[in-house]
Structure 1
C-alpha cells in the first residue's frame, strides 16, 4: 500500500491522532513545570541576603554574624526543627510576638524559607544533616 492509499484509508485520523498526542505531551510538560515553579523559584542566596537585611537585627542568620537578640532562635536552630515550608512561610507572612511586619513579597518569603531550610537536614535524607555554617550562640 502506498502512502496515498494509507492516507485515503485513514483519512486525517492518523494525522490528527499524532497532533493530539503531541498536544497532550506538551500540555503535560507545561503543567508539570507550572506545578514545580514555586519550588524551583526559591533562591537560597537571595534568602541569605534578605535575612541579613531584615532578620539579622534580632536573629543570628549566618556564621559571619557577631551578635543578635538573646531570646530569639538562630536560623540554624529553626532549621534543625525540621519545619515544613508552608508553616514557616505562613509564620513569616503573619509575624507574631515582637517580630515586625516586614511586608515581604511571596517570592521573598520563599527565598528566606529556602535559606533557613538549607541550614537544616538534607531534604533527600532526613537522617543525614547538612553541615551548616558554625553560628555563634546567642547570649
Structure 2
C-alpha cells in the first residue's frame, strides 16, 4: 500500500478534529440575529427592546440564572414546547441562540 494512503485515515482524523470543532462552534452574532427575528415577539432579546410579553423571561434574565448552561438551552430549544411557538431550528441555530443568550451574562 502506498505510504500516503496508509496515512489517509490519520490525516482525516486530524482534519476533522481541527476543523470540525471550529465548524461546530456557536456563533452568538448569528444567534442575536435569529433572536431578534424569531424570539423578540415574546422575549426582550436586547436591552434596547421596548416591548415584549410580560409573562416570559428576558434573555438577560435567562442568561443570569445560576444554572444557565448553553448546551442544555440549545437542547431545550430543539424540543417542542407547549408555551413556545414551534420554530424549525437547526442544531446550529439553537446553539447560536444559546451562545447569544450566554453572551448577555
Higher radius of gyration, 1 or 2: 1
User: Residue 95 of structure 2 corresponds to which residue in structure 1?
Assistant: 110
RMSD between aligned alpha carbons?
A: 2.3
Give the whole-Å Cα distance in 2 for the aligned partners of 1:59 and 1:101.
15
**Alignment: residue pair count:** 101
Give the whole-Å Cα distance in 1 for the aligned partners of 2:87 and 2:13.
38
CA offset at residue 61 of structure 1?
0.2
User: Residue 63 of structure 1 corresponds to which residue in structure 2?
Assistant: 47
CA offset at residue 34 of structure 1?
4.7
Normalised by the length of structure 2, the TM-score is: 0.78
Relative contact order higher in (CA < 8 Å, ≥ 6 apart): 2
Task: Give deviations 1:51-106, integer Å, cap 9, x for gaps.
Answer: 01110011000122001111111101111124222210111111323211011122
Specify every segment of 5 or more residues in structure 1 that has no aligned partner in the other structure, as ranges.
1-15, 121-139
Normalised by the length of structure 1, the TM-score is: 0.61
Q: Does 1:51 align with 2:35?
A: yes
The equivalences for 1:1-139 within 5 A come to 26-36=11-21, 37-39=23-25, 42-81=26-65, 82-120=67-105
Give the whole-Å Cα distance in 2 for the aligned partners of 1:105 and 1:24.
29
Specify every segment of 5 or more residues in structure 2 that has no aligned partner in the other structure, as ranges.
none
Task: Give deviations 1:30-63, integer Å, cap 9, x for gaps.
Answer: 1322551312xx2211111110111001100012
